[in-house]
Structure formats: structure tokens, C-alpha cells
Chains A and B, each alone.
Chain A
Amino acid sequence: MNTLDRLLQVMSNVFDVPRERLSEASSADDVANWDSANVLHLTMAIESEFQITLTPDDMADMLSVKIILEILKNEGIE
């Protein structure tokens, strides 16, 4: 599984939405449960899935799949 697929699977679990409803173009605008409480869960789930440690800035920036991919890229995960 590539990084995008792994990320979308994590998001599907956290946000409780079907995997096929998520894509690289998804953002907080179009995913129903993408709220600040769930971003906390998402952050922890991403840390666990990718074995990284994120910062509060990273968490605050998690507004779209593309941005999260950039955050992962900063952590060396392409």
C-alpha cells in the first residue's frame, strides 16, 4: 500500500466514512466528521500508523488530504 492509501485507510477508520468516499482531493469541507475533535484522533492514528511524532502546528494544519501528505513528506514519508 502506498502512503496515500495508508492515509486514506486511517482516515476512513477515524472519521467512520467508507474508504471509497475519500480521495486525495478530500478536505474538511467535504468529509462530514472532519472536525477538531476527530483531528486529534486522526493525529494519533497517523502517528501510530507511520511511527512518527507530529507537532501541534501539524495538527492545526490538517485541513486537507494534500496538506497531510505534505506533513508526512516533511517527516520523510513519501
Chain B
Amino acid sequence: MTLDAAELELAITASLIDRFSEFSDDDNPLHMDQGFATAHSFKDRVAHGAISVAAISRLIGTQLPGTGALWRSLQIDWLAPLYPGDVLRLRVAVAQVSSVAGSIRLNITGTTGRDVEVLRGSAAVGIQATTQGLSTTPAAAPPAVPHSLPTAGRADRPVLVTGGTRGIGRATAIKLARLGHPVAITYHSGLAAADAVVLQIRKDGGQAHAYAFDATRPETAASLVADVRRQFGRLLALVHSASPQLSYAPFEALTQEGLSSLQTVYVGTGLALAQALAADCQAASWGRLVYVGTTAIVGDPPSNAAAYVAAKMGLLGLVRGLAVELGKRGTTCNMVSPGLTDTDLVADLPQRAKLLEAQRAPMRRLAVPDDTAALIGFLLGDEAGFITGSHLPVNGGIGML
């Protein structure tokens, strides 16, 4: 579709060819020697093809689009020679306006006075700084600030912490409540533990509610989030730390069911929760998704944990995929990977393995739940709004990225 066009005429003269040859040092006898040119079946000295390119440059730079143009590419076919005495009539026409690329595509044609087509081509031209010469408004630049700046504080940003009754989830729920977030925690079977966390948060002056949730059933994530919304109005942040009890086994002993179960809890429910939160995050142009990973996926993984490592690696893929798509909604998505943390989750791990892990860490200790909770607290703040798609180990320096 032609939106607009511009034209110029350029008289080709022997003097012009001489001047171009002097400027470019292209003194090929085809251009410079009439006898040589005619001996090669041309009727006269042949004008340098680049002379027509110079004329195209003038059209683009001064007329279409003119001031502010940034010429990005040129494709050109020379169809017939230009001789002294010819008049090159150049025409550029807008063929396409791409707002998102801030660019226009121009079709270029060149004819002589005898209406012989001598060249044909196309060019891409950036138009950041001009609309001159265009009959439509091109290149709607993205807004300077892609999403609204937050005006709410932490008290206006409820967070859902899955697996919030034990270990890292519990420490995170308490930490986030202290920072001012209303906190929804989920529990699977530990109602008493959930109550204890809620009571502790309320005693500290925070807001908390506990919800029964089976993280092996992603199809129930939407109704969980709906319940949280009924209590807190909206839900803008998620910390997915729920995990089944870990068992360690050589790969020969792993089962498809065991592998699927881990993948469902981490990746399947992780996705379902993100889907359930997406509408609120979009409406607020603000959101924080934090997934709890593991240092077992940093560097060489431990043995006898292949299913766990596979599922958490899958979760990292989810985190990166979500981050790419959620950024334009002002929503970040990250994975926090604690080092071996002495919690119920790893109660079955031999003491020797824990001691070794601690002794091999540059910081010479195992992780404690608060190490991870502190980072999650930071990630939920406005200061962390440019951190997304990141994999952040909290592991005392073991297996540095």
C-alpha cells in the first residue's frame, strides 16, 4: 500500500561521473574511457551505479522521510546502464509503516527520460524523529514508562505463600508479614502448623489467613486464588514453595509416578497459580512471582536426586517463560534457589551429607530459612522491579553461577 512518495530528477553528465570517480577512486575504464566502454558494447561511458545510490540518499535524507531519517538497509538491482545525457528520474514510495519497529519500507524505482526502467530496489528507514512527508502517523513509540509506577505500598499487596507452614515457606510468610504484606498461606495436612503461623503473624500485628490446598492438584489453584481474593481483595504476589517430602533414590528406583508428582507440584501448580494471578497483576500493572528452586540445580547435582533435579530444572524453564511474557504487565518472575537448608523437607538426608555440604560451602554452614526469606522479601519490593527471569542462589557460595 502506497502511503506517500517523493521524486527527484538527476541529470547524468560526464562531469558528474568524473567527480564521482575522483571522490571514490573508482576509475574503472568502463566509467572513465569512452573507447573502452564502446568496445565492450556500451554506447558511452557508464555512470557509476553508486551515483544513483547517492541520489536515493538525498531523497531519503531530505524528502521522505527527511529530517530524522536513519537509513538502515538497501537492496537494489541495476537493470540498465545510465549514460551521460540521461536524466535519472527517481521515485521512492512508502510501502510499509511499522510502528513497532519505528521503521518504514520504501520501494525505489529509477527510470530515464526514455521511460526505461534502470533500477529497482527497496530500503528500510528508521523514523524515530520525524513524520515529515508521511500522510499517516507512523511509528507510535512505546510509552516512555511501559507501566504505571506503583503507588501502593506493601500493605496493598497481598501475597500467597504455598507451603507456608514449614521451613522456608513458613519463614517467608512471617518475613513478608513483618514487611507489611497481607499473607495467605496454604497447608496440605498441617492445619495446626498453619494455625500457629497465622497466630504468630497476627500477634506481630500482621494479617494472615490459612487455606487448605493440595499442590498436587493444579486444577484447584483457581479456586484457591478466588478464596484469597475474597479475603484480601486482590492478589498480586506469589511465593510457590510447596513441596512434597523429598526422598533420595538411585535413578533405577525412580518411578514415572514419582517424577510426575514432583513436576505437577512445582511446574504444573506453579503455572496454574500464575494463570490465576495474571488478571490482578495486569490490572495493577504490578506483580511479583517467586518460585523456590534449589541449589541442587547449580553446578553438579547431587546423586540420587534425578527426579527432583529434573522437576526443579523444569520449574526454572517455567520461570523464564513467564518472565518473558509478564514483563509488559509490570510483573517480575524469579527463582530463588536455597542451598541445603536444615528443614523437615530434608530430614531423610544423611547427617554426613549435610555436614559435607556445610564444610564445602565458602560460608561454611548450611542455609537457614531466613536466608531465603530475606531475599524473597527484597524481590517483593519496588526496588526489585528490574529483576526478572533470574535464577538467584542463596547458598553460601556453593556452585557459583
Contact = CB atoms under 8 A, between A and B. Distances in A.
Interface of A: 27-29, 61, 63-64, 66-67, 70-71, 73-74
A73 B350 CA distance: 11
Contact of B352 (A27, A28, A29, A74): A74
Interface stretch (B29-37, B101-109, B131-139, B355-363): B355-363
Interface of B: 350-352, 355-356, 359-360, 364
A64 B365 CA distance: 12
B350 A70 contact: yes
B359 A27 contact: yes
Contacts of A29: 364
A67 B355 contact: yes
Contacts of B350: 70
22 contacts: A27-B359, A28-B359, A29-B364, A61-B352, A61-B356, A63-B356, A63-B359, A63-B360, A64-B355, A64-B359, A66-B355, A67-B352, A67-B355, A67-B356, A67-B359, A70-B350, A70-B351, A70-B352, A70-B355, A71-B352, A73-B352, A74-B352
B365 to A, nearest CB: 12
A16 B7 CA distance: 94
A78 to B, nearest CB: 13
A27 B352 CA distance: 14
A70 B359 CA distance: 13
Contacts of B356: 61, 63, 67
Among all A-B residue pairs, the 3 with the closest Cβ atoms: A70-B352, A63-B359, A67-B355
A45 B350 CA distance: 25
A70 B360 CA distance: 16
A29 B361 CA distance: 12
A66 B359 CA distance: 10
B315 to A, nearest CB: 30
A2 B287 CA distance: 58
A34 B116 CA distance: 90
B290 to A, nearest CB: 33
Contacts of A70: 350-352, 355
Contacts of A67: 352, 355-356, 359
Contacts of B352: 61, 67, 70-71, 73-74
Given A67-B356, A70-B355, 12 more contacts: A61-B352, A61-B356, A63-B360, A64-B355, A64-B359, A66-B355, A67-B355, A67-B359, A70-B350, A70-B351, A71-B352, A74-B352
Contacts of B359: 27-28, 63-64, 67
A54 B158 CA distance: 54
A71 B352 CA distance: 7
Nearest to A67: B355
A64 B361 CA distance: 13
Contacts of B355: 64, 66-67, 70
Nearest to A70: B352
